[in-house]
Structure 1
Amino acid sequence: MIEEGLLSLCMIVKNEEKWLQRCLESVKDAVDEIIIVDTGSTDRTKEIAAEYGAAVYDYEWNDSFADARNFGLDKAKGEWILWLDADEEVEPGDGQHLRDVLSREECYFGRIKVVNYYGTFPVTYDRSHIMNQYRLFRNDPKLRFAGEIHEQLDIEALDLTNKSVLVVPVTLHHYGYLEEAVEEKGKKERNLRLLEKALEAEDHDPWLDYHYASELYRSEKMAEAFERVNLSIGSFLKSQKKPPSLLYKLKYSILMAIGSYEGGWPSIELAIKLYPDYVDLHFYKGIILMSMKKFAEALETFEYCLTLDEDHPAYLTMVGTGSFLAWYYIGSCHELMEDLPKAEEAYRKSLELSDTMEQAREALQKLGVLESAADN
């Protein structure tokens, strides 16, 4: 029975003793109940959950993340549900804002900012992608997760015409795709296996092709990833649907990774027409123009990136494409055009915005205007 004014945290876990305490500690004072669905832990995961007063349910894993999440939803009593993964934590001080949705009768979803870190420890905001996600929603039996892997709320099952979304001032930090975390849990192999199984269905969702391409990209199988993401784009177009922006970000990320800049021209212009305010696409365009030795046009493109929103609610954005990374490439353009004073100014601006921007530091050292650490 659903109880008004309550917020339920729903999670699925397996062998998360390294992460779970940090996650629960960050939200324990904001939620009214904790529902933990355990799919076969052999470490202290369930003990840690119990220490936080969680209701722990054993669940036999059937290769479907959506089924496991939906099992947890069926146990929740709260009027609202928050869903998290164990390798996530809410920004200190933000937790109580999760309860903002409880007083908003007109709202159906709560959207929060998720920071997805990449690379290695120690984490830094400058090595992350950001995106706003629906992590809070009303406890409605008609609203369930779909997808064996990379599951998402099936919001198309509802008539959302009169259902509003509240942007909640909460930041969620996700560590699950740091290199160490991926290797520890064998995520690449697991995800590829589950996706290959799901792709056997002839009428599979084109999102599966995108997710498969993403895993191939992370596994550095670039040619296969490029073929698969194009297949996903084609499937959306064939069904007369606009391909989501994530597909184009992945497509050009692959081309940048393999240095196939000519392969991105002029198709990047078509992608930008579909998503004219997506800073990452403009950033990739600038790099392509630089490779074509069109430095003045590239410079103009990177300067335009500075006017766009890095924290756009509709897009997955790489931190820096509208700030320190753009400034670095502005400096590179000026240097290639032999305007060294402007190059120095831009490199310094990049370093001011990100003290971890080693490319800018090295560029300044090359110009002879900054001492290297070895010289100190």
Structure 2
Amino acid sequence: MQMPSISLCMIVKNEEEFIERCLKSVHELVHELIIVDTGSNDRTLEICKKYNAAIYPYQWGDHFADARNFGLSRANGDWILWLDADEELETSKSQLMMDFITQTDASMLFMPIINYYGDTLPVKQEQAYYYHQPRLFRNNLGVKFYNRIHETPNFPEQEDSRYKSETLEVPIHHYGYIKEITTKKKKSQRNLHLLQEEYQNPGHSPWIEYHLASEFYRNQDYGIAFTYINESILGFLLQGLKPPAILYRLKYGILYETNSIDGACSSIEKALLLYPDYVELHFIKGLMLFYKEEYSDALDSFEKCLKLGENHSEYLIMKGSGSFNALHYKESCLSKLNSTKI
């Protein structure tokens, strides 16, 4: 059986700090490296040339999807893998990826992204959250990227129901949310600029409000973040859609951070009716109850978290919410309850 070929497609600009780690993680797996350069003036392109990458200069137009689609138009592989320079594939799983795409009849594969957070490198393994994204898809099926920022690949609308998606458990490690990196690259300013441009477009997706809320949340501008997350939830409802679980996670995370506990404790139950198996919502509920010194009810929430665990590919999950952090709070609840009996 002939092995399928993979094209790696990337957008880069001044990525000398990370790009070699990224290319090393895939160069034995992929058959071609498509690099769309939007104006590097450091050693990025020199490093790419070491790996025999095909480099295409591209005039940046404040639109990530357009740049991604330019790269797709240059790719010749049977499959497209897309990464950012501050990511790397888990190399120990490369053979699993090749075996999977050789056998699957799916056209789009969702892969776990391990997003690390914290102040500085090196990363701490426990400071991470997981989210599955469509990162590997068949070429020549008309897949294109959409959205100015936080772009995502989709099939042509009229063809979408024809194609199957599956989950491929080959992790991608992402370092771009480490504070020293976001500060150095001024990511927040760039993201807010692009998101606010998209926000002005009539008919934009309610995901734009979610991403605006996320940026303001990371900047600790909780009031603005709360306004946008409510706009996002309303936007999905007005389209007749159930708001994604991640929106409620952010909403109640904001309420917890701002000590707006009393009303949130009752209203989070409505979100849990929509997503009863979402460990993050149970964890936030537990934190709120713990803050209110309602330790028995908090204990129930943390035990629910441990029962649910963290292996849910449809949700964004913070590492520890269904394991060590939930266990820590469970033990704290038991300690508090025992101390009240003495």
Displacement after TM superposition at 1:100 (Å)? 3.0
Deviations along 1:275-334, one digit per CA (max 9) or x if unpaired, are 111100000111122233321111111111101131210000000011111111112212
User: Displacement, 1:110?
Assistant: 1.7
Contact 1:131/1:312 (<8 A) preserved = no
Question: Distance in 2 between the 1:14 and 1:133 partners?
Answer: 23
SS of residue in 1 equivalent to 2:107: strand
- Structure 1 residues 164-313: aligned runs within 5 Å: 164-313=164-313
1:316 alignment partner in structure 2: 316
Name 1:108's counterpart in structure 2: 107
Q: Where in structure 2 are the equivalents of 1:1-376 lying within 5 Å? A: 5-104=4-103, 106-120=105-119, 121-155=121-155, 157=157, 159-339=159-339
The letter for the 2-side match of 1:309 is G
In structure 2, distance between residues paired with 1:125 and 1:256: 24
Structure 1 position 338, deviation (Å): 2.9
Q: 1:43 to 1:223 in 2, by over 3 A?
A: same
The separation in 2 between residues aligned to 1:330 and 1:102, in whole angstroms, is: 42
Which deviates more from structure 2 when the two are superposed, residues 3-12 or residues 218-227?
A: 3-12
Relative contact order: is structure 1 or structure 2 higher (C-alpha 8 Å, sep ≥ 6)? 2
Partner of 1:362: none
CA contact (8 A) 1:101 1:110 kept: no
For the Cα contact (< 8 Å) 1:36–1:55, is it kept in 2? yes
In structure 2, distance between residues paired with 1:288 and 1:98: 41
Conservation of the 8 A alpha-carbon contact between 2:3 and 2:102: no
Contact 2:141/2:155, CA 8 A, preserved across alignment: no
Deviating more after overlay: 270-279 vs 90-99: 90-99
Report the Cα distance in structure 2 between the residues aligned to 1:330 and 1:206, rounded to whole angstroms.
36
Moved over 4 A (4+): none
How far off is 1:156 after superposition?
6.4
On the 8 A contact 1:100/1:168 being kept in 2, the answer is no
CA distance in 1, matches of 2:225, 2:7: 38
- SS state of the match for residue 111, structure 2? strand
User: Is the CA contact (8 Å cut-off) linking 1:143 and 1:158 kept in structure 2?
Assistant: no
Deviation of the 1:57 alpha carbon: 0.2
Amino acid paired to 1:285: K
Instruction: Please list every run of 5 or more consecutive structure 2 residues that lacks an aligned counterpart in the other structure.
Output: none
| Contact 1:113–1:171 under 8 Å retained in 2 | yes
What is the Cα deviation at residue 141 of structure 1? 4.9
CA separation in 1, counterparts of 2:214 and 2:236?
Answer: 17
What is the aligned-residue identity percentage? 46
AA matched with 1:276: P
Number of equivalenced pairs = 339
Q: Please, what TM-score do these two structures have when normalized by structure 1?
A: 0.86
Tell me if structure 1 keeps the 8 A contact 2:142–2:155.
no
